[in-house]
Amino acid sequence: MHPAPAPPARSRRRPGRSRPASRWRLPPVLTALVAGALLIAGCGGATSATEDTPTADGGGAPSGTLRLGYFPNVTHAPALVGLAEGIYEDALGEGVTLETRTFNAGGEAVEALLSGAIDATYIGPNPAINGYARSNGEALRIIAGTTSGGAYLVTRPDITEPSQLAGTTLSTPALGNTQDVALRAWLAEQGFETTVEGGGEVAIQPQENAQILETFIAGNIDGAWVPEPWATRLIEEGGGHVLVDERDVWPQTEGEYVTTHLIVATSFLEEQPEIVAALLQGHLDAIDRTNEDPAAVAEVVAEGISSVTGVSPDTGVVTTALGNLTFTTDPIADSLRGSADDAIAVDLLEPVDLDGIYDLTLLNGLLTERGESEVAG
């Protein structure tokens, strides 16, 4: 079985929707920030804003096209909820056409961003780090956090101690992805050698999440480090149990770690800051909606996954998975840097300077407007 190909870009514009004009204006605190961003773009040698770019005086609506990527995963629940309920469209206004594209893995999303096929995407930390490193720090910026938590090492029930993993085969969703790095780093701390070719004292066999579930149930692998809802499915459908809750691996951040965040192409941020600000407004609203009542949005998330993958996840599983996740705009920057250090330690990343990977200016402007605390990068 191979991962399903990503469907073509789709417009999420629903004709005939009316939106209050107030949603077309940037909050006053952001007006100067957007004006500054436009000035920087004009003075820094980057491509200048097009004629579709609105004025930065707060009097015009954003105008243009936003191509947004996301994954049909529970860890991307705010994106699924925001799209299904028209939250992004409301925030962007009539002048912006929203097109979406889905991905099966972070590497695919990074390639699309680097090639100019999309403008922004929800993505995990390690693929974002890889894209930043490949472009020498130029191609992308993290503009908001999205999801924390929800990753586990689930094993056969008879494996109750790390020492029992010698000679086993474990899986992760993809070589070099966030869970793959976490597993390899944790195994190294336990004294086990692994290789990218699948050798070593513990063999790691990267495969797509649905395949992980199938091979675990069949007894062909002994466990997997996976994000939700796959951890819950390995437990409920495969009879596994949690050997490691990744929250326990992050004492320095009190158990919080970034699972998903929102990134944008640097060129798009410079050329279309008002669209990015409007996207962030929708992002905040989508997180608020998801946090209001996870049980109520579980069906929305399940339907969103089904519409992309053609497979309908059990709503009860989605509800359980949502309860294991925290949806937050805080990018939890210390955990991102920790993930980078882990990837370097297991030879999946060359040393990289991450200074500049965050641009939280627009996000913090919105948080200030809402009376909420700013976040750090």
Residues 232, 346 within the same domain: no
In a domain, 2, yes or no: no
Pairing of strands 223-227, 140-149: unpaired
Q: Residue 143 pLDDT more than 90?
A: yes
Q: Residue 36 pLDDT more than 60?
A: no
Tell me the average pLDDT across 121-136.
Answer: 95
Residue 143, C-beta contacts closer than 8 angstroms, at least 6 positions apart: 120, 262, 263, 264, 269, 276, 280, 358, 359, 360, 362, 363
Residues 265, 227 within the same domain: no
Q: Residue 33 pLDDT more than 80?
A: no
- What's the CATH number where 178 sits? 3.40.190.10
pLDDT for position 62: 85
Confidence of residue 40 (pLDDT cuts 50, 70, 90): very low
Q: Residue 31 pLDDT more than 80?
A: no
The per-residue pLDDT for range 237-258, each reduced to its tens digit, is 999 999 999 999 999 999 999 9
The per-residue pLDDT for range 11-27, each reduced to its tens digit, is 333 333 333 333 444 55
Final residue belonging to a domain, choices 253, 279, 296 = 253
Residues making up the chain, counted from first to last:
377
* CA-to-CA dists, residue 168 to 88, 159, 224, angstroms: 45, 10, 11
Residues 19, 139 within the same domain: yes
pLDDT for position 296: 85
In a domain, 4, yes or no: no
The CA-based angle 308-309-315, given to 5 degrees, is: 95
pLDDT for position 11: 34
pTM of the model: 0.82
Q: Which residue has the higher pLDDT, 50 or 159?
A: 159
In a domain, 5, yes or no: no
Confidence of residue 312 (pLDDT cuts 50, 70, 90): confident
Final residue belonging to a domain, choices 206, 225, 253 = 253
Amino acid at 63: S
- 309 lies in which domain range? 10-148+257-369
pLDDT for position 46: 34
Q: Residue 261 pLDDT more than 70?
A: yes
Confidence of residue 54 (pLDDT cuts 50, 70, 90): very low
Q: Residue 138 pLDDT more than 80?
A: yes
In a domain, 374, yes or no: no
Confidence of residue 364 (pLDDT cuts 50, 70, 90): very high
Residues 139, 26 within the same domain: yes
Residues 262, 358 within the same domain: yes
Residues 84, 106 within the same domain: yes
Residues 201, 96 within the same domain: no
The per-residue pLDDT for range 210-242, each reduced to its tens digit, is 899 999 999 999 999 999 999 999 999 999 999
Q: Cis omega (within 30 of 0) on the bond before 229?
A: yes
Q: How far apart are CA 174 and CA 106, in angstroms?
A: 9
Residues 315, 232 within the same domain: no
Q: How far apart are CA 315 and CA 254, in angstroms?
A: 30
Residue 363, C-beta contacts closer than 8 angstroms, at least 6 positions apart: 143, 144, 280, 329, 375
Report the chain's mean pLDDT, rounded to a whole number.
86
- Supply 303's token pair: 């339907």
pLDDT for position 180: 95
Q: Residue 5 pLDDT more than 90?
A: no
Q: How far apart are CA 145 and CA 262, in angstroms?
A: 6
Residues 178, 322 within the same domain: no
Confidence of residue 61 (pLDDT cuts 50, 70, 90): confident
Residues 49, 169 within the same domain: no
Instruction: Compute CA 324 distance to the chain's CA centroid, rounded to the nearest angstrom.
Output: 16
In the block, tokens 């949005």 appear at 297
The count of domains in the chain is 2
Instruction: Compute CA 98 distance to the chain's CA centroid, rounded to the nearest angstrom.
Output: 18
In a domain, 3, yes or no: no
Residues 171, 211 within the same domain: yes
The per-residue pLDDT for range 151-179, each reduced to its tens digit, is 999 999 999 999 999 999 999 999 999 99
Residues 248, 351 within the same domain: no
pLDDT for position 30: 55
Tell me the average pLDDT across 104-117.
Answer: 94
- Supply 98's token pair: 């929203």
In a domain, 203, yes or no: yes
Secondary structure string (H, E, C) spanning the chain: CCCCCCCCCEECCCCCCCCCHHHHCCCHHHHHHHHHHHHHHHHCCCCCCCCCCCCCCCCCCCCEEEEEEECCCHHHHHHHHHHHCCHHHHHHCCCEEEEEEECCCHHHHHHHHHCCCCCEEEECHHHHHHHHHHCCCCCEEEEEEEEEECEEEEECCCCCCHHHHCCCEEECCCCCCHHHHHHHHHHHHCCCCECCCCCECCEECCCCHHHHHHHHHHCCCCEEEEECCHHHHHHHCCCCEEEEEHHHHCHHHCCCCEEEEEEEEHHHHHHCHHHHHHHHHHHHHHHHHHHHCHHHHHHHHHHHHHHHHCCCCCHHHHHHHHHCEEECCCCCHHHHHHHHHHHHHCCCCCCCCCCCCECCHHHHHHHHHCCCCCCCC
Final residue belonging to a domain, choices 253, 269, 287 = 253
* CA-to-CA dists, residue 66 to 57, 105, 117, 121, angstroms: 21, 21, 11, 10
- Supply 306's token pair: 């089904």
